[in-house]
Chains A and B, each alone.
Chain A
Amino acid sequence: MKPNPAPSTPPHPGALPEPQPEAAPRPRVVLEARGLVKRYGHVTALDGTDFELREGEILAVIGDNGAGKSTLIKALSGAIIPDAGQIFLDGKPVHFRSPIDARRAGIETVYQDLAVAPAMTIAENLFLGREILRKGWLARLLRWIDKKRMLEEAIADMQDLKIGIRSMSQAVETLSGGQRQGVAVARAAAFAQHVVIMDEPTAALGVKEGNMVLELIRRVRDNGLPVIIISHNMPHVFEIADRIHIQRLGKRVAVVNPKTIRMSDAVAVMTGAKMPEELSPEMLAY
């Protein structure tokens, strides 16, 4: 095995000389993984990968096809169970057996196909599977939903993210692609206690709507939730990420700083055209 440029010695991997002289106190680590392994038959999708998400950041995960980035994200969101390795949420070990488990632990995922019911209203989609019930034993017995409160809270959730949609009682299928994404993001942000994961949030969108969604992701972070985004769109990644996790051949090969590294260098590392050791220290995120 080659020496790993981002050695898996938590809590600070990629520990090369510190790029910033003033060295602000290190933010708390919210979600962390060590040595994750996942094999599908003879294919090793994850080969002992590490991962670290910190408080208040947008972390982009990039990698070529087959680098294991979607497997990594599935492991973090509970969609698959890794064969080996550990995941820590707020420093405590967690074992997700399903996406429901991860959601209960406070990790919300915005899926690429958004997982919305198009014929149902925005308010209903926001509370799908988590409907607010009316008060009283009879209402509880009948599981009688409180439509008025759901509508009010839907308006509040959408306002938190400044998503400008007039009516929460219109069907999701009447919205544009970007607005639908807004609904899925608002749902995740409203229920996530710790982390929001977004899978290719801008993939199906035009330029204007893509920018709108990037703005939305920033607001989620600024409202206090760290965000993991998986994206193929390098300009978007560089525009929005605070740090970039580069996945290659089932491992994390580097964590880089989008403000100091050139896009071409990041892509070169991602595709193996350049070794991570060849990067200059200030390009790495500490």
Chain B
Amino acid sequence: MAQEQSGTTQRPGSFLERLPSLSILGPLVALFLAVVFFSLQSDRFLTGQNFSLILQQISVVAVLAIGQTLIILTAGIDLSVGFVMALGTMVMAKFAVELGLPPLLAILCGIVVTTAFGFLNGFLITRFRLPPFIVTLGTMNIAFALTQIYSRAQTVSGLPDAHLFWGNTFRIGETVLTYGVVLMIVLYLLVWFFLSETAPGRHLYAVGNNPEAARLMGIPTQRVLLLTYTIAGFFYGIAGWLLISRTSVADPNAGQTENLETITAVVLGGTSLFGGRGMILGTLLGAIIVGVFRNGLTLTGVSSVYQVLITGILVILAVTADQISKRRS
């Protein structure tokens, strides 16, 4: 709301104008300090190989977090992320191993299932005007139950090569990278282009920032929301493929922690939970920050409980910064 701001022409712009860059500056500084700290603590930290490992470790959460970012930009939230992905991996694995479908077709089926779940989320939210939090809490449980029922709580192994494709590696100098890491980076670049350079991408921001204004300006806000949740579901399918490439099995208990990890990455990356503000590359940065802390604390021999503790503190700091910057505007 435009309450009493000063009427002069230049002053209000000078500080607030820099806020978007400020919101990305915070995480960058945090990352830099963490890297310096862990480099001093362990000489194994600052190596290409270790950085490649960090990227591999974050790739699944980072790709899930693309979907989460798109949804949070519309001022929504998705709690079904991890379990929908797990259901997708189960379909990919069982369709190939037990039904004997061609591997790529089985993978496609898994992606169709996660995309359908995204569509279901979007449909319930737009058609019946239900709050995203509740809808995705419901579909989270449905996806979890379906995974358990369909897999009979059994892990599926013996996956064909196509399922493991993204775990294959190649070398750049001394550093070994997986194709999965490359896929993650390519997806981020594509989504960055979509969000910042195309009209539908800008409409997504507008819907999150001021839905009523977007509607009055002729943007089909409900369709934008439905598509956003559906596309997010597609990314969960891709993330599922990455997951089974890393672990070589489909685990019915996968996806337990991913919901919060994606939200952590999004918030650390400077995207506002109130919608309409933020950037996709910030989310990648957020995921990297979490990965660096995990990796660094492990290398320096700190118990994993402290990793969880530090992640929690980081998230609360990031959300506080978000809240403060919202109040200022």
Contacts and interface: CB of A to CB of B under 8 A. Distances in A.
Interface of A: 99-100, 103, 109, 111, 113-120, 124, 128-131, 133, 142-145, 147, 164-167, 170-171, 173-180, 204, 206, 208-209
Contacts, number: 103
Interface stretch (B61-69, B141-149, B203-211, B311-319): B203-211
A119 B276 contact: yes
A128 B20 contact: no
B7 A128 contact: no
Contacts of B7: 176, 178, 206, 208-209
Interface stretch (B10-18, B107-115, B126-134, B155-163): B10-18
B209 A131 contact: no
A128 B214 contact: yes
A130 B218 contact: yes
A131 B206 CA distance: 13
A151 B199 CA distance: 15
Given A117-B206, A118-B329, 14 more contacts: A103-B218, A115-B212, A115-B216, A120-B205, A128-B219, A129-B218, A131-B199, A143-B199, A167-B13, A171-B20, A173-B329, A176-B2, A206-B4, A209-B7
Nearest to B16: A174
B277 interface: yes
Nearest to B5: A176
Contacts of A147: 197
Contacts of A170: 13, 17
B218 A119 contact: no
A142 B10 contact: no
The interface size bin for chain B is 20 to 34
Interface string B252-283: 00000000000000000000000011000000
Most buried by A among B6, B7, B203, B214: B7
8 contacts: A99-B216, A128-B206, A128-B217, A129-B218, A166-B13, A175-B12, A176-B5, A176-B6
Contacts of A165: 9
A119 B277 contact: yes
Most buried by B among A100, A113, A128, A179: A128
Most buried by A among B4, B8, B198: B198
Ranked 7 nearest A-B pairs via Cβ: A129-B217, A115-B213, A117-B209, A177-B2, A129-B218, A143-B199, A131-B199
Most buried by A among B4, B16, B210, B276: B210
Contacts of A128: 202, 206, 213-214, 217, 219
B200 interface: yes
